Structure 1
């Protein structure tokens, strides 16, 4: 999807120039976001304004002080149609004692109608929550070392000279982290990159990993290695089981999810063998974002999230394991700290147009509030989306049509029961447009909250960054199929895009060395054909699956490993390209490109 075309609006996200870290004396330590290059280029002028302009101070219940400075600026947008612009900028900052630096957010005025109190709440959320940290050994322009401490900071410096007279202790408090001199950071980053390529990376049809993606990935890894911290990655995934029972064996996580978690955990274990701090993969549950689009009740999504986490804890119970894979829900992104709930005003999200719920589901208060907040803070213009569809923008129209077809299939059953064929198509199209809008807004939010994390996706991206497609199933253990009888024949589409655990299930055929990933209907059709016996196996909490046995069982069939090697991305025939175009869609994540 052409996110650069689709991602247009007037939300706080679209008014964000970027996020930054700076030292007390004004050195720029990091900058992320769509306007990062502008921030870097104009940092001396921004720094001068921060020192000269009036700043307001607002304490938080956590003890942090939010400092807000507004000023007029002339920005040079090189490479854009508008080379220079006169604008009003707002900078909010807090000082983080853990990283010994200021973390700030820069924005320009919105053309939309947003309450100033909401903007303050959301921007404060960002600077107090974002994972952005100083980048060590970075190539940022040297700025003047004009002291840019605020009046409040100067006061606390004076207090510390009174109550912490020990100069050595003051030096320890004020130090900036340094990269470990003895560590060959680049070599370690390259080893972790090679491990990712071997264990997780999913090759795309038009893959740019070798051209630029590998270097991008390695640079992100090195940022963590320089700080001697776990390599942090974020994966929006594991929403809930599809409501279409022709695809899945039930609403609970099953063996498909179990194998996916094992795959991710194995990668982290292998990273630890290379690099002692290891890695952490954050699974960001996104089921509540779309539950009211896909016909799943909020409490069903909540139960799925809880069951998935319980499954992981039953598989890996140590404290190290708990750091390897971590879980976060939609509401956690906004309300993980008490002061955010206390200062939130529900009138900020009272607009009924924030979310369009065209399918009747049981909605819970917390998920519905979180959905509205995603759209209020990072949502795109729906009218712009409609214009792109009507204008038949190639990329947007392709995704819209493909997602509409997918939803027509996924909602088949109780959700669309009793509707005419034309009504079903219309409903699927309306849902597809809403899902595109929500998905893009969610991607925008994660970009702000996890700007320095390595972003993973279960979809086939071009792998040039910032997102990288991954495979949740090892090639030597699981093969995706559309037919049990033809399970040993290659299925070209699955060389580049595997079905997800939440849209399929595991099928085991007695005598075969690999398991199969398929729709539940594939297993049921095999049983109804009388060529196979068996059924669903609930394996005592380890994850359900279909177990089949051929009626005329011969010798076990050994799968030739050469048939499951990673596919070449250089030679893709026309038929495969057509299949990919029609089927390379997962409504829960596809729009996040």
Structure 2
């Protein structure tokens, strides 16, 4: 006797739910290889973020669309050539980072043939002038990334940028005005929001090293104030940029090179090999060293062979 329509519908619904669960579970297991996390109880991925990520993946499966992961980053190499990096162009560090992203997407296809894509939303124009990076170097870096993707045969990585969403010669200011960022009390947010405060401190520490030439001859207090001033401007732009990404990629899996509590909507990742609890290093601030036993380490250039 043939099953009735209601039975068929129930079985179909069960299969769809099971498929969503399987895809989400597989994605999360592979994503764990990249995740960065604070120590408990600051990290709340298991209690909150996991459910958020499962729901995000389920929406893609429901629509039978490729899972989209969006990563703001890969701006340009730090201007501290010789101290932190070899020069302005992508190198082995970027190769490794891109390969990790490609591997994640390819692994998703094992259970979800529709696929998975990573969009790198390059933010070089957002911060470049603040850290002294030229537009020429920003463009050369992004073009170099595209060449690395092509040469490696990566098929799951694509690029986006401010130029696709702004109309003026000052896209940074345009984004700030679009989202009303200039009226924001950033000092209050730094003081009261842990994620914002953590990013501010991270930016300020980076400015000490990335802009070392600017601080030559300055006192410790002058350098600290200068770093904080630049970091505060970076935070305003970062909030504006994040607002743009959130609006244009509202349904995507949003990942970040910064550590978060991983409740969602943002999840911190390691672009380079590291222990999960380590502070994430980025390829644009690092050189890669490979030990004789095959261990890969990311570090500042000045620390190599010392």
SS, match of residue 88 in structure 2: coil
Q: 2:299 aligns with which of 505, 512, 518?
A: 518
CA separation in 2, counterparts of 1:231 and 1:268? 9
Question: 2:4 is matched with which residue?
Answer: none
Question: 1:378 is matched with which residue?
Answer: 179
Compute the displacement of 1:243 (Å).
1.1
Q: 2:243 aligns with which of 444, 450, 475?
A: 444
Matched, 1:506 2:288: yes
Matched, 1:296 2:136: no
- Which aligned pairs between 1:10-409 and structure 2 lie closer than 5 A? 183=16, 184-205=18-39, 206-245=42-81, 246-316=83-153, 321=155, 324-334=156-166, 365=169, 369-381=170-182, 384-386=185-187, 393=192, 395=194, 400=200, 403-409=203-209
Matched, 1:434 2:233: yes
Compute the displacement of 1:498 (Å).
2.3
CA contact (8 A) 1:379 1:440 kept: no
CA separation in 1, counterparts of 2:31 and 2:272? 14
CA separation in 1, counterparts of 2:188 and 2:172? 24
User: After superposition, what is the alpha-carbon deviation per residue over 1:100-119, rounded to whole angstroms, capped at 9, x for unaligned?
Assistant: xxxxxxxxxxxxxxxxxxxx
CA contact (8 A) 2:123 2:161 kept: yes
SS, match of residue 165 in structure 2: helix
Q: From the superposition, tell whether residues 383 and 495 of structure 1 become closer, same or farther in structure 2 (CA, over 3 Å).
A: closer
Q: CA RMSD in A?
A: 2.6
Question: 1:456 is matched with which residue?
Answer: 255
CA separation in 2, counterparts of 1:243 and 1:374? 24
SS, match of residue 275 in structure 1: coil
Unaligned runs of 5+ in 2: 1-11
CA contact (8 A) 2:36 2:280 kept: no
Compute the displacement of 1:286 (Å).
0.5
Q: 1:412 aligns with which of 202, 208, 212?
A: 212
Q: TM-score, normalised by structure 2?
A: 0.85
Q: Which has the larger radius of gyration?
A: 1
Q: From the superposition, tell whether residues 298 and 277 of structure 1 become closer, same or farther in structure 2 (CA, over 3 Å).
A: same
Compute the displacement of 1:443 (Å).
0.8
SS, match of residue 72 in structure 2: strand
CA separation in 1, counterparts of 2:184 and 2:141? 34
CA separation in 2, counterparts of 1:393 and 1:190? 33
SS, match of residue 326 in structure 1: strand
Q: From the superposition, tell whether residues 258 and 452 of structure 1 become closer, same or farther in structure 2 (CA, over 3 Å).
A: same
Compute the displacement of 1:463 (Å).
1.3
**Higher strand proportion:** 1
Aligned residues: 290
Compute the displacement of 1:200 (Å).
2.3
Which structure has more relative contact order (CA 8 Å, sep 6+)? It is 2
Compute the displacement of 1:419 (Å).
4.9
Q: TM-score, normalised by structure 1?
A: 0.46
Unaligned runs of 5+ in 1: 1-178, 335-340, 347-364, 480-493, 527-593
User: After superposition, what is the alpha-carbon deviation per residue over 1:310-346, rounded to whole angstroms, capped at 9, x for unaligned?
Assistant: 11111016xxx1xx11101221233xxxxxx5xxxx6
Q: From the superposition, tell whether residues 209 and 385 of structure 1 become closer, same or farther in structure 2 (CA, over 3 Å).
A: closer
Q: From the superposition, tell whether residues 416 and 307 of structure 1 become closer, same or farther in structure 2 (CA, over 3 Å).
A: same
Compute the displacement of 1:420 (Å).
5.4
Compute the displacement of 1:421 (Å).
4.9
**Higher helix proportion:** 2
Compute the displacement of 1:412 (Å).
0.2
CA contact (8 A) 2:20 2:57 kept: no
CA separation in 2, counterparts of 1:286 and 1:199? 24
